Structure 1
Amino acid sequence: MTTVPHLLATRAAAEPDRIALIVDGIGSHTAGSLTTGSHTAGSLTVGSWQTRSDAVAHALVRRGLRPGDRVGLLFGSHSWLDYAVCFVGAQKAGGTAVPLPPRAPAAELTRLLDDCDATALVHEDAAAPAPFGGWSATVSELDDSATGVDDGPLDVEVRPGDLAQILYTSGTTGRPKGVAATHANLTHGCGARRRPFAHSRHLAHAFPIGTNAGQVMLITALDARLAVLSPARFTPARFARMIQEYAAGTVFLVPAMAVELLAAGTLDRYDLSSVVLLGSAAAPLPGAVAGKLVAAFPNATIANYYTSTEAAPAQTVMLYDPSRPGSVGRALAGGAVRIAAAGSGEPVPAGETGEVWLRSPTVSRTYYGDAESSREVFRAGWIRMGDLGYLDEDGYLYLVDRDGDLVKSGAFKVSTLRVEEALYEHPDVLEAAVVGRPHPVLGTALAAVVVPRRPVPAEQLREFLLDRLAPHEVPGVIVEADTLPRNAGGKVDKRALVKESTWPT
């Protein structure tokens, strides 16, 4: 077991000039800028990451930060480099890094900072600090490494069991909870002789800062030999162009981004032949979308990763298989998956639906300051995922629905994921989400919101679904929308969908 600062120090001593992070599309004023084609990018070498994070750590201690104090980090996706420096800098000072969602309202940011009793807030130079009980500072105020004064490593002991990070959940099923992870949890599997993604020189992604998927990319930048590449702002054309210019061998995205890339029609204009692994994370990848990605990325293996902020690094992985289009795969070595009966937690037979539990291959996470919720979710190395699913005879996991999204309509329980999968098969449907709405007779009735490629009558969609679903699974109401509401991690916010959609009376 190791720590994040030790991982960085080891890599910096061995490969100080190796580029770890690149943000494409930011101005040439950025330190470490480089030019690719007609576009300017900022880059961060491992050595600079080490020096700058040392400077930030010293500055935090001078301002009174003590071991164990929480440090809020407020950065947008264009500031990955500064964020990476401050993330490790806070940990070198013995603190716990708390990534914050940059687009959250000030009141929500204040609530999160107060929830974890943060001592400090570090933010990008252009951001306005949220009001809370501690002090705040910009990156420029903390990072004096450019002055040539080398303070060197800080004399603070950081241990694998120390709290490294508190990451707040997306809040799609309730109020966001702070998920606490130790250094041992974050660095599990790191530092091995065989580095991850060795087939690539560049890994491209567009995950936001403050999400679990984004944090995985940050740790990957510390551990892998490739450079982790992200756009300052995601658009389909910018992302596809970036893949081509850097000849990225590995690409990670969320399903919503995959849908945007396919819908924009830009992929045909770029050479994507360098991509040999395309990973989807943060939400289930519809089978129809995965099939289209296979055609768009001709040399790539399509992989669907299933985990959660609470469960990481436990996960299942599914390499796209047309014979198992709805599966999210099997657990990676060291972890495990089981389907448990509600209440008892006892395993159920293959094919039977129950609660999805994942077992962590290392020390598991917990909810910060919430012992009661922790006891409900974290069970002796197992994590209750909040999803319903089943395992087939070969151990492949299939999700039925989120526990709270399963719709009981009359005498039937209906999986909204199953209905959404069927809607995605229609050629004129770009995106789809299914929810339950109050009904005077059935109690709850199915309703669907679709983002169409071109207008399509609701009755035509229902006829299409009747060829694929049972009659009770076909939504009685189908409405169109320009977009679906999503949280910072790219997941559809179904509570907002119910409130915001224009439903017929």
Structure 2
Amino acid sequence: MPELLDWRTALHPDRVAVEVHGVARLTFADWSAGASAVAAALSRRGLRRGDCVGLYFGAQDWTGFAVAYAGVLRAGGVAVPLSGRLAAGQLGHALDHCAATTVLHGDHTPAPPVPSGLPVWTCAELLAEPATEPSRAGPTTADPGASVARRGDLAQILYTSGTTGRPKGVAASHANLTAGAPHHPHRLALAHSERFLHAFAIGTNAGQTMLLNALTAKAAALTLPRFTPARFARLVEAAGTGTVFVVPSIAVELLDSGALRGRDTSGVHLIGSTAAFLAPAVAARLAEAFPQATVVNYYTSTEAAPAQTTMIYDPSRRDAVGRPVGGQLMVADADGKPLPADTTGEVWLRAPFPRAYYRDEAANRATFRDGWVRMGDVGRIDADGYLYLTDRHQDVIKTGAFKVSTLEVEAALHEHPLVAQVAVVGVPHPVLGAAVAAAVVPRPQAGPDGLSLPVLRGFLADRLADHQLPARLLLLDELPRNEGGKVLKRQLTHLFEN
């Protein structure tokens, strides 16, 4: 990773790499110099090769995060990106689990509540430290230039979203992070754009992908100190914004807000959606709102990256999530043996230099096998190599003699004109074992009586089978989501029980 930054700096020293709109800009020259200064300061303070450093940063501090991240890696440490919105318990779990030796936080991000005795510094403190300042952590033999990590060394630990349990640390090497990185200036990604726009949180896999894009793309990364549909829409329309990355929840909020109404979106040529299943109805609305853009859905996970499938929106393959890019794809039986085309089974992805769970051998045995990663999804691959998801393995609803895909029910509900957001879960049923339940966020025009269970069941009657129709309905102002935009379905199940 440090070598990749050096390469871009030599090519484009004065080009903006990362920008937080209205807050700060970071050129490659400043990024490289800042990373070197942070690395030197950390080494003087006793950082050793392989030490974990927590990086606690909010969205307004993306440029500082980029500097701190590259500085930790340049010093041979392991970066642990952590959102500035984590609760104290979540933060404490991550820092304890990775045995962090110190924590850096953003200049605009309040000091984190860390365990007593754990050093906490701002990025600005390290950058301002004189090069001759003595070590505060005892003598060290680490020289910043000598401690630069090797390709096989651990580079980062990302903590998963925790939608199915306590977050696990996913460890990635330098080789994993830089797999597929360009080595020629004419092969930089997103060459059609001056900048790519996103609103992803630090500490998520999607956010880390944007940081890597800043290193490998011709376009600069542009983000907001705080997402609102109106602010995001203004930047969508701004000159030079040729690529926009979203998660499905942001896409729905942007489309439903009316913020794009009357705006010229013709400069956008690529819309990328990631982190969760993009319902076909939402993909169709994005294609309509951005008539000059190619709408692409990316399917991967924190564990499987950079392996992924990509799917250019195609009305003739509405439910497909694409074919593999940057790795291999397989649908297998319970024993991990590949299944024939159009046979439903467990979805696996394989990437070069695979990741692994940090300090969790039991979870590694359940998820990783010979470089393959069990995605936790059920799906099938058609004869043309396109993947179709049935559901998350744990989300499939077993009702009576049937198995119901929550993704299929959600996709059908998204077609209703008064449904803004939806999540489907299974709830206990005394006879069937489980029943289909839908949590819906109505659009404002729905009114107090616009949506009801009979109305939705009637709408779905010619779209779904009887056993797929929701038996219960919960209307909410918003769905509970994690930092990555994924719905926390466990919390919804508890709401239906109340």
Question: For residues 128 and 315 of structure 2, what CA distance do their matches in structure 1 show?
Answer: 54
Question: For residues 178 and 378 of structure 2, what CA distance do their matches in structure 1 show?
Answer: 29
Tell me the equivalent position of 2:9.
12
Q: Pick from 372, 380, 383 the counterpart of residue 370 of structure 2.
A: 380
Letter in 1 for 2:13: P
Q: Pick from 441, 454, 458 the counterpart of residue 453 of structure 2.
A: 458
8 A contact 2:420–2:442 mirrored in 1: yes
SS at match of 1:426: coil
Question: For residues 262 and 227 of structure 2, what CA distance do their matches in structure 1 show?
Answer: 17
> CA RMSD for the aligned pairs?
1.7
Tell me the equivalent position of 1:36.
none
Deviates most, 132-141 or 227-236: 132-141
Tell me the equivalent position of 1:76.
58
Q: Pick from 146, 159, 163 the counterpart of residue 154 of structure 2.
A: 163
SS at match of 2:41: helix
Matches within 5 A, 1:410-425: 410-425=400-415
Does residue 90 (structure 1) correspond to residue 85 (structure 2)? The answer is no
Letter in 1 for 2:12: E
Matches within 5 A, 1:10-409: 10-26=7-23, 42-125=24-107, 126-132=109-115, 134-144=118-128, 154-193=145-184, 194-332=187-325, 334-342=326-334, 344-360=335-351, 362-409=352-399
Question: Equivalent pairs: percent with the same residue?
Answer: 55
SS at match of 2:315: coil
Render the CA deviation track for 1:248-277: whole Å, top value 9, x for unaligned.
Answer: 111101000000011001112321110001
Deviation (angstroms), 1:155: 2.9
8 A contact 2:75–2:144 mirrored in 1: no
8 A contact 1:204–1:230 mirrored in 2: yes
Render the CA deviation track for 1:181-219: whole Å, top value 9, x for unaligned.
Answer: 000000111133211111111111111111001101101
Deviates most, 370-379 or 399-408: 370-379
8 A contact 1:52–1:143 mirrored in 2: yes
Q: TM-score, normalised by structure 2?
A: 0.94
Distance 1:403 1:497, change over 3 A: same
Render the CA deviation track for 1:8-39: whole Å, top value 9, x for unaligned.
Answer: 1122123211110111133xxxxxxxxxxxxx
Question: For residues 478 and 114 of structure 2, what CA distance do their matches in structure 1 show?
Answer: 32
Deviation (angstroms), 1:457: 2.1
Letter in 2 for 1:241: R
Question: For residues 497 and 219 of structure 2, what CA distance do their matches in structure 1 show?
Answer: 47
Deviation (angstroms), 1:395: 1.1
Question: For residues 353 and 204 of structure 2, what CA distance do their matches in structure 1 show?
Answer: 20
8 A contact 2:427–2:496 mirrored in 1: no
Deviation (angstroms), 1:434: 0.4
Q: Pick from 423, 427, 433 the counterpart of residue 423 of structure 2.
A: 433
Question: For residues 430 and 502 of structure 1, what CA distance do their matches in structure 2 show?
Answer: 23
Kindly tell me the number of residue pairs found equivalent between the two proteins: 481
8 A contact 1:163–1:180 mirrored in 2: yes
8 A contact 1:7–1:191 mirrored in 2: no
Question: For residues 88 and 148 of structure 2, what CA distance do their matches in structure 1 show?
Answer: 34
8 A contact 2:102–2:119 mirrored in 1: yes
Question: Unaligned stretches of 5+ in structure 1?
Answer: 27-41
Question: For residues 470 and 78 of structure 2, what CA distance do their matches in structure 1 show?
Answer: 46
Tell me the equivalent position of 1:476.
471
Deviation (angstroms), 1:153: 6.1
Deviation (angstroms), 1:501: 5.1
SS at match of 2:339: coil
Question: For residues 225 and 263 of structure 2, what CA distance do their matches in structure 1 show?
Answer: 19
Deviation (angstroms), 1:128: 2.2
Question: For residues 374 and 79 of structure 1, what CA distance do their matches in structure 2 show?
Answer: 33
Deviation (angstroms), 1:149: 9.2
Render the CA deviation track for 1:389-422: whole Å, top value 9, x for unaligned.
Answer: 0111111101111010001011111100000000
Tell me the equivalent position of 1:32.
none
8 A contact 2:19–2:220 mirrored in 1: yes
Question: For residues 501 and 9 of structure 1, what CA distance do their matches in structure 2 show?
Answer: 53
SS at match of 1:268: coil
Question: For residues 173 and 380 of structure 1, what CA distance do their matches in structure 2 show?
Answer: 24
Question: For residues 457 and 173 of structure 1, what CA distance do their matches in structure 2 show?
Answer: 29
SS at match of 2:176: helix
Deviates most, 450-459 or 406-415: 450-459
SS at match of 2:20: strand
Deviation (angstroms), 1:359: 1.3
Letter in 1 for 2:272: G
Letter in 2 for 1:23: V
Deviation (angstroms), 1:100: 1.1
SS at match of 2:179: coil
8 A contact 1:202–1:246 mirrored in 2: no
SS at match of 1:497: helix
Letter in 2 for 1:157: V
